[in-house]
A and B are shown apart, each in its own frame.
Chain A
Amino acid sequence: MNERSPTTPVVGAPKSPVIGTPKSGDFGVRHGYHSSRLLSWLPPLAFLGFFFFYPLARILVTTLDPAVLTPDNFHITLSALRFTFYQAALSTLLTLLLGLPAAWLFARFDFPGKSLLRALTAVPFMLPTVVVAAGFNALLGPRGLISFLFPLSSFQFSNSLTAILTAHVFYNTTIVIRIVGNALAQRDLRLEQAARSLGADGARVWLHVILPGLRPSLLAAGTLVFLFDFTSFGVILLLGGAAFATLEVETYIQALHMLNLPLAGLLSAVQLACTLALSALYTRAAARTRVQANPRAVFESARLPRRRSEKLFVAGLVALLALFLVLPMLALPLRSISRLEAARGERSRVQYALTGDYYRELFVNRRGSLFYVPPIRAAVNSLGYAGLTVALSLLLGFPAASALARPGRLERWLDPFLMLPLGASAVTLGLGFILTFNRPLFPQNGSLNTDHWNLLASPWLVPLAHTIVALPFVIRTLQPALASIPDRLRDAAASLGASPVRVWLAVDGPIVWRASLSAGTFAFTVSLGEFGATALLARPEYPTIPVAIYRFLSQPGGLNYGQAMAMATLLMALATLGILLIERLRIPQAGEF
């Protein structure tokens, strides 16, 4: 029963637990506790089992071939593994370096344009890699803004490790901002005040009060970022050039360009094993740093910068975020309304003119093509898929996260497996889907057309695939928040006569709501920007915006490029609006307890 030490010590200050009063064991255990726990595991496990583990197991078993274990293949696997770890560790470090101050900025201070900037920082997360590459190129490329301003700098951006790391930080900073920022926003300021009044200086407060309280969210964010970089694909392929290959890229090459499925299987098995090991490490570390505190409302901790140093910090960081996260994105809308001068072939000095042609052209099916997509329909498809993904991943992620927030033996076993979808190679999983779902789910006899029961031919497969990717994010976002809800608040409410429903609404509700919004944002962006699975699984009649962007970019010509930029701008606008909308749903009285 009493598996966990009731006096979970605060790491960093083991002798004087500043946070979290001793919890009275599993005092609140009621009858039927375990069966309800099993019940809450059922939906997410059934979903992942059927749509993730089963197809994955099938493809791995099918491609299993002892003949693949040759020294050459070991060499390929090992060198890919080495580089994968190296770049992921470096990227994670850099992401935390930018993400932590940014999280502090958003949690601690109010400033004009805060919610817009906060929403904009989440947009990179869903941009297709081709679009990001174009943005960075417009800025840092051989004829980009930087080399225009500093003509003598022979700065080689693409095809370098710098490009890979920059893109990873660009993509993943939002993870740190959101997960750590959430924890920062609801931490108990009174603890810091108490520490200060007891004579602790700034550094001591950080070291012994703030950081220990952040440990769970730091771990969660760090693990997510690391795993995301670990399985990085598009960035390595498009920005890294030919010299770099991660496990994921090597899997893709072997499976789709060499048709060497056994080696692809081996590579993805190695990648899965690493993901599992990393997740298990995370689970162990997280179990040791569980912290309960009195969560506070956001408005309590965020305020205008007062001191000079604070103002400098805010201004500097806002400028840095704008420069690094927003400027590369800004290049796209600019390009989507500017046209090169007509006789492009006859002069090397480029001249720009303003134009709305690219947007107008989006609405014209100039060549009477069968697969022409009106932009509105692509947007509706994208939003439909994203909405379904948000709903599905929250519905499935919530029960799992609440069980994980109070882990027992079962949870500690299951926890690492929930992260596996992040470590599965998209190519391998896609092939597993094909192997598994290529027949009707409910076979009908007779001559009736059974096509629409064939999951593989159905548009529903796309949101299902997106949910698999989004689920780890949703769970990891919800879990630290749920774990931070102090039992004694619940107990207090209950002892004051609140019904269980009321307890939930008054105590859990506000915290859960705030975390759900973050989780929903992740699911929304994951789905909106996803391309790989969509390209493999979607039907051409229901293309998403990223698919439409790729269609334009796959043919030469200025009009195609311009239309791709216009579509990308549309995608960014849609994402920004969606995120702003989701964040507006913050209830004003949140934290009123």
Chain B
Amino acid sequence: MKKLSILLFVFFFLLAACAPQGPAEQAMKAPATLTVMTHDSFAASEEVIAAFEQAQNVKVTFLASGDTGAALNKAILSKEAPLADVFYGVDNTFLSRALEAGIFEPYPSPALASIPAEFQLDPSNSLLPVDYGDVCINYDKAYFAERGLPVPHSLEDLLNPELNGLLVVENPATSSPGLAFLLATVAHFGDPGYLDFWADLRDNGLVVVGDWETAYYTNFSASSGHGAQPMVVSYGSSPPAEVIFAETELEDAPTASVIGPDTCFRQIEFVGVLKGARNRALAEKFVDFMLGQQFQEDMPLQMFVFPVNPQAQLPEAFVKFAQIPSQPARLDPAVIAANREQWIAAWTETVVR
């Protein structure tokens, strides 16, 4: 009994010894450290980050902090003693709220010169655009072709009785693409016109789920989950991702996006230097780096977003399979911030209650 319990404890302490060690050793050696707080969809190539580290003689640590809302909350709550120097991942739906919180330092990066004005939504330059992506309806090409169904080209087309029960969307209260699609309808139909549209959509057999993972992998018919709906609210970059992450090589993407006017909502993601950053100069260098060509060209295959820097070349799969809408829906971030809660509440009343 005693022996066994000792064994048990030895076992546990061995396990404990296997547990990850703190970053203490590296911290002692490295000449300088830079901490970047991000949402958990952030990704980058090892060699790209290593290039920055070598050039600036710095060790970059990334602090992934949940989804965009969680990460932003984390940054706001820790503003007295910031956990990081740089924050990446504020999108245009959260932009005004993030600026109101006053956690960012203005930084008019010289790299902004090559970024189109349409992406620069913050005149104070506290938050600088890094990437964009369009939230669009993806459809199952084979499903539509086999049944001879009309592919929709506008939001109104979705009300076609032939498409009854074929669209799955995410709840805008719990999902960021869900919110983006709601915003597209607000931009197109206005307030309160969007509610009539949603009521009609509900009557046309709309399916609502909680999050993108469920919508895409459980409900969408063209994903590996082969669900029941051939249309899903996803991203314009999902079709190339289907090709890149196919089980076996695909000639063509199994899905495509509906890119008619106002059917997609453009999400823009921003980076900013946090107030009280321990290493302000390096933080600014990192912001420059994120806007520069090397990082911008790395983003598409890592995060499946589009570079804001027009000099950046898109990878082949993106050129072939990603469709960029010519007229995405847009809303002023300040208007979004002011109405977000009310729009979501009214949507919930109309669609699910």
Q: Which residues of A contact B (CB under 8 A)?
A: 62, 130, 133-134, 137, 141-143, 158-159, 237-238, 240-243, 249, 252-253, 255-261, 339-340, 342-348, 350, 355, 357, 365, 367-372, 380-381, 383-388, 390-391, 427, 430-431, 434-435, 438-439, 449, 451-452, 454, 456-460, 463, 505, 509-510, 513, 535-536, 538-542, 550-551, 553-562, 585, 587
Contacts and interface: CB of A to CB of B under 8 A. Distances in A.
Nearest to B218: A137
A345 B143 CA distance: 8
B70 A557 contact: no
Q: Which 9 A-B pairs have the closest CB atoms?
A: A557-B245, A345-B254, A387-B15, A384-B19, A256-B69, A142-B228, A561-B224, A242-B171, A438-B78
Given A242-B352, A345-B141, A557 B241 contact: yes
Given A370-B43, A387-B15, A585-B4, A355 B247 contact: yes
Nearest to B40: A535
A434 B271 CA distance: 21
B227 A141 contact: yes
B253 interface: yes
B223 A556 contact: yes
A451 B27 contact: yes
Interface of B: 1-2, 4-5, 8-9, 11-13, 15-16, 18-24, 27-28, 33, 35, 40-47, 49, 61-67, 69-70, 72-74, 77-78, 80-81, 83, 94, 97, 140-143, 146, 171, 173-174, 179, 207-214, 216-219, 221-228, 234-235, 238, 241-242, 244-255, 301-302, 304, 340-341, 344, 348, 351-353
Nearest to A456: B83
B210 A237 contact: yes
Contacts of B223: 556, 558, 561
A343 B248 CA distance: 9
Given A260-B341, A347-B142, A536-B70, A357 B213 contact: no
17 contacts: A130-B214, A134-B218, A141-B225, A158-B209, A241-B210, A339-B247, A342-B250, A345-B254, A346-B142, A370-B46, A384-B19, A387-B15, A391-B16, A451-B27, A536-B66, A538-B64, A556-B234
A358 B318 CA distance: 24
B12 to A, nearest CB: 4
A336 B112 CA distance: 45
A393 to B, nearest CB: 11
Contacts of A355: 247
B73 A256 contact: yes
Contacts of B246: 344, 557-559
Contact of A143 (B61, B216, B226, B302): B226
Contacts of B238: 556
B20 A459 contact: yes
A237 B16 contact: no
Contacts of A237: 174, 210-211
Nearest to A451: B27
Given A242-B210, A459-B21, A536-B65, 10 more contacts: A141-B227, A238-B209, A256-B73, A257-B179, A259-B73, A345-B254, A346-B142, A367-B45, A452-B27, A535-B64
Contact of B142 (A249, A348, A357, A390): A348
Contacts of B2: 505
A253 B209 contact: no
Given A344-B254, A345-B253, A242 B174 contact: yes
A242 B213 contact: no
B254 A562 contact: no
Nearest to A460: B22
B255 A345 contact: yes
Nearest to B69: A256
A262 B228 CA distance: 39
A246 B179 CA distance: 20
A434 B249 CA distance: 45
A431 B62 contact: no
A240 B173 CA distance: 14
A122 B235 CA distance: 37
Nearest to A381: B20
A252 B174 contact: yes
A457 B33 CA distance: 13
A587 B2 CA distance: 11
Given A253-B174, A562-B224, A585 B46 contact: no
A509 B1 contact: yes
A159 to B, nearest CB: 7
Contacts of A459: 19-22
Given A347-B142, A509-B1, A554-B41, A342 B304 contact: no
A535 B225 contact: no
A213 B140 CA distance: 59
A460 B13 CA distance: 14
A384 B247 contact: no
Contact of B244 (A427, A463, A557): A557
Given A258-B340, A383-B15, A554 B213 contact: yes
A556 B64 contact: no
A89 B49 CA distance: 51
Nearest to B238: A556
Contact of B216 (A339, A390, A550, A556): A556
Most buried by B among A372, A385, A540, A556: A556
Contacts of A387: 11-12, 15-16, 18-19
A345 B142 contact: yes
Contact of B20 (A252, A384, A509, A513): A384
Contact of A368 (B18, B28, B46, B226): B46
A391 B10 CA distance: 10
Nearest to A565: B224
A188 B20 CA distance: 46
Most buried by A among B16, B212, B221: B16
Given A158-B214, A558-B246, A370 B227 contact: no
B210 A348 contact: no
Given A142-B228, A391-B13, A241 B20 contact: no
B214 A513 contact: no
Nearest to A551: B40
Contacts of B4: 585, 587
B330 to A, nearest CB: 21
B225 A242 contact: no
Most buried by A among B142, B247, B341: B247
Given A240-B210, A259-B69, A259-B73, A339 B16 contact: no
A458 B63 CA distance: 11
Contacts of B63: 457, 539-540
Most buried by B among A137, A260, A435, A460: A137
Most buried by A among B27, B43, B212, B241: B43
Nearest to B138: A556
Given A141-B218, A241-B209, A259-B72, A370 B13 contact: no
A510 B4 CA distance: 12
A140 B174 CA distance: 24
Contacts of A559: 245-247
Contacts of B218: 133-134, 137, 141, 158
B83 to A, nearest CB: 6
Contact of B22 (A386, A458, A513, A535): A458
Contacts of A345: 140-142, 222, 250, 252-255
Contacts of A456: 78, 83
A241 B208 contact: yes
A371 B83 CA distance: 20
B49 A370 contact: yes
Contacts of B45: 367-370
Contacts of B140: 345
A460 B16 CA distance: 11
Contact of B222 (A344, A449, A562): A344
B241 A556 contact: yes
Contacts of B22: 452, 458-460
A238 B302 contact: no
A585 B62 CA distance: 41
B235 to A, nearest CB: 8
